[in-house]
Structure 1
């Protein structure tokens, strides 16, 4: 079997992935890797200049052309080659950064992660195998990764942004393992490998063939239990306790058993009036229903931010000024070229919530943490950020604590599950009816994509962002109204 470094790493995770990619790729349900790949590409491009001037081997050309160009560049040592390409038998790799010295070469594998993971060691060890088998002397093997403690100044400091981990000794220890794995991968037969599901389906990466490999399991099954730790699910799976019927009388967390019970016996909704009243009684007008959308940059673009820091770029705000007042809506969506997005976001939010009312959110930890970060970056906003956090009320709590629960929530307290459970026939509250953007990661990726688009191309995306975020806060208003309704009904 022909192997690249990515295919080798797939085989390390599970040989069935290799076989399915070759024989049944249409059974893959991969639907979220584009943004991750784009982040990796951007980090990789920046890192190419880590050691100064370099020569790039064009990744889009034929493999043989790339190998030949690399061979010619190696003659010009010392130099730095990006995407240097090599082959040995049916094994191929491109090295992100190759330092080519008179007495040998150094391999630098670039990752957009903030730590060195075991699979990265497999990646570099495979490259070492290919290069040394092709006759090169490899002096050093290293992994370049993101320093998440780096705080950007006015200019980007690459030496501070990247950490470099020397993994040469580990790579050398793995060479027998590499040889054994390559031999085993080359012997994959015509039939799908008989490999059962297990923790390897999610480690080091979620496998895109999960649906294919679990298609014969009963529905619902142990893997549908919300919040339950994965290792606990696999423990029950290996014990043969897979269906909800199998699990009904097991010694499990009461919340897991409650989900199973509601599913099997179609129980009536559970509503603990006192817990919901506690939420309602904690509210003070004006009511500010607010939701933030954020994005992350592996390479920090804003002075004072760290890699992968959550950057708030949008909010939706529904306001009820006093009992019986009409619902008002305000919103903010940053310009994609605003170099002070966080400051602009905060100023607009403070202007839109001037009074000392309840700040109502869904999942308090997220918005509260963003407010603390804003206060740290901009001390002039601290008083208002503290005010928001002191007045914050989390509508998620009754659902998380199972004080309000229905079968349709399927054990989850995510608003994406709660809303259709409470309002099953309202198209206005259906995220599936939205165009382009239906969940948070799509919103983040959409905003990040705006920089590369013309104003005309941005229009439908910006509208979709506004529509999506607006639904999040409208959903909270509807949940608040439902709380008032059900507590009145229970009385």
Structure 2
């Protein structure tokens, strides 16, 4: 039987589908995926309530005309739709597929078309909708379910995708009946692949998939020419400037370092230096006033401060909100004590911290001037690597601090930490504040959160110091 879940795996890559049906698909999910699944369940629960309170009355029909999780079979295929509502005027059934996103993705339209094709074999289907989260909703007072979800009419889109979807379904049937996985197209993202042994059986260490911001078309063009290693990419192959630099550095197998430019960059920094990092939580349902769905809610900061070039005394300040109240006011009250009105604020990927500062300024308006001042002094340490002032083949095309740090400061790493990434920090904070009651467990989680966030700002300090000595 080929279910909707199976079909979604096919949309990832046909070879993934073959692997799934032959028990060769790694079903392990990441911490981030677990978080998304949890939020998805919450949205689905609210969608059922929404259907009863808002959809059914709008159709002016009876309770029996509202059906949840109806299953239909059609030969090799099985579909289960989220919500069905009978339209009394047309005497047809409208389909509502629930998606816990603020904007449907391409696979959601194919998924909905798959459902529609199968249900049309059993029922007279009218219009088709995707019921998704409304990104324009801002909580004010009590949670407003009527504004939280929005129904997008995708009837025409489904009609346009039917022929293509039917062809994909036929391909699924073919792949179920073959033992040769090579007849199924592999994926092009090894970092996200659930069956690397099938999609990438002999991938070189410095592969073409490490090219920065590489497109699927370029990957396919290179594979068609039997090129898998970055060092084998021809000089006349169409690449962006950043990609070409990456390839040349890989071929020379030595870092590209612009000492003069790095020195000039670091000389623009003004003491005191503030190395700042936030941790955030992004619930589907806004927990407090003035938040939108999935808006990043800052619950923790870490700050390393270096007062002057001659002062080797590195100070560290930190805070984690441990109460169930709106977190940013409490956090900002603490943080403002340690960030003065002058001095560079050093971050890694400034779009994140600056966006959080603007949002917190809108929520806590009495801190808006302070946060605007901080944003005006932000320096993004990642820019040195993003702008190719320092390019190392060991970065493998990444500017992430998790990839730069092990190369430049190998003795400092995240491997031995109980929390090793932002998603783990987010879920552990929520667990500490909203789920567990045992104080010993809470204290352990708090310790882990503080250690992780401190590592992020210390990593920036150490990378800055490495570059300073280099320049």
Pairwise TM-score range, normalised by the shorter structure? 0.7 to 0.9
CA contact (8 A) 1:98 1:107 kept: yes
> CA offsets, 1:425-480, max 9 Å, x none?
x1xx1111212x21223322333444233344333333222111100111111122
Instruction: State the 4+ residue runs in structure 1 displaced beyond 6 angstroms.
Output: none
CA contact (8 A) 1:271 1:403 kept: yes
CA contact (8 A) 2:14 2:185 kept: no
Structure 2: state its 5+ residue gaps: 55-61
- SS of the residue 2:324 aligns to: coil
Give 2:57's aligned residue.
none
Q: Does 1:484 align with 2:471?
A: no
Q: Does 1:389 align with 2:371?
A: no
Give 2:106's aligned residue.
118
- Alignment partner for residue 453 of structure 2, among 459, 469, 475? 469
Matching of residues 281-296 of structure 1 within 5 Å: 281-296=267-282
Distance 2:248 2:168 in 1: 46
- SS of the residue 1:274 aligns to: helix
CA contact (8 A) 2:188 2:209 kept: no
Distance 2:467 2:168 in 1: 58
Deviation at 1:388, TM superposition (A): 0.8
Distance 1:406 1:179 in 2: 47
> CA offsets, 1:13-59, max 9 Å, x none?
543222211213355675352222222111111111113269xxxxx
- SS of the residue 1:122 aligns to: helix
Deviation at 1:110, TM superposition (A): 0.4
Give 1:263's aligned residue.
250
Distance 2:399 2:11 in 1: 35
Change (3 A) 1:182 1:289: closer
Please report the TM-score for the alignment, with normalisation by the length of structure 1: 0.84
Distance 1:359 1:131 in 2: 57
Matching of residues 234-245 of structure 1 within 5 Å: 234-245=220-231
- SS of the residue 2:182 aligns to: coil
Change (3 A) 1:291 1:17: same
Change (3 A) 1:254 1:90: closer
**C-alpha RMSD of the superposition:** 2.9
Distance 1:484 1:170 in 2: 55
Q: Which deviates more from structure 2 when the two are superposed, residues 161-170 or residues 311-320?
A: 161-170
Deviation at 1:90, TM superposition (A): 4.0
Distance 1:174 1:363 in 2: 38
Matching of residues 416-431 of structure 1 within 5 Å: 416-424=402-410, 426=411, 429-431=412-414
- Alignment partner for residue 264 of structure 2, among 272, 278, 282? 278
Q: How many residues align?
A: 456
- SS of the residue 1:171 aligns to: helix
Structure 1: state its 5+ residue gaps: 55-75
Matching of residues 223-372 of structure 1 within 5 Å: 223-247=209-233, 249-251=235-237, 252-267=239-254, 269-322=255-308, 323-335=310-322, 337-338=324-325, 340-372=326-358
CA contact (8 A) 1:77 1:100 kept: no
Please report the TM-score for the alignment, with normalisation by the length of structure 2: 0.87
> CA offsets, 1:76-126, max 9 Å, x none?
853433323333444333322222466343221100122233322322233
Distance 2:366 2:80 in 1: 49
Give 1:38's aligned residue.
38
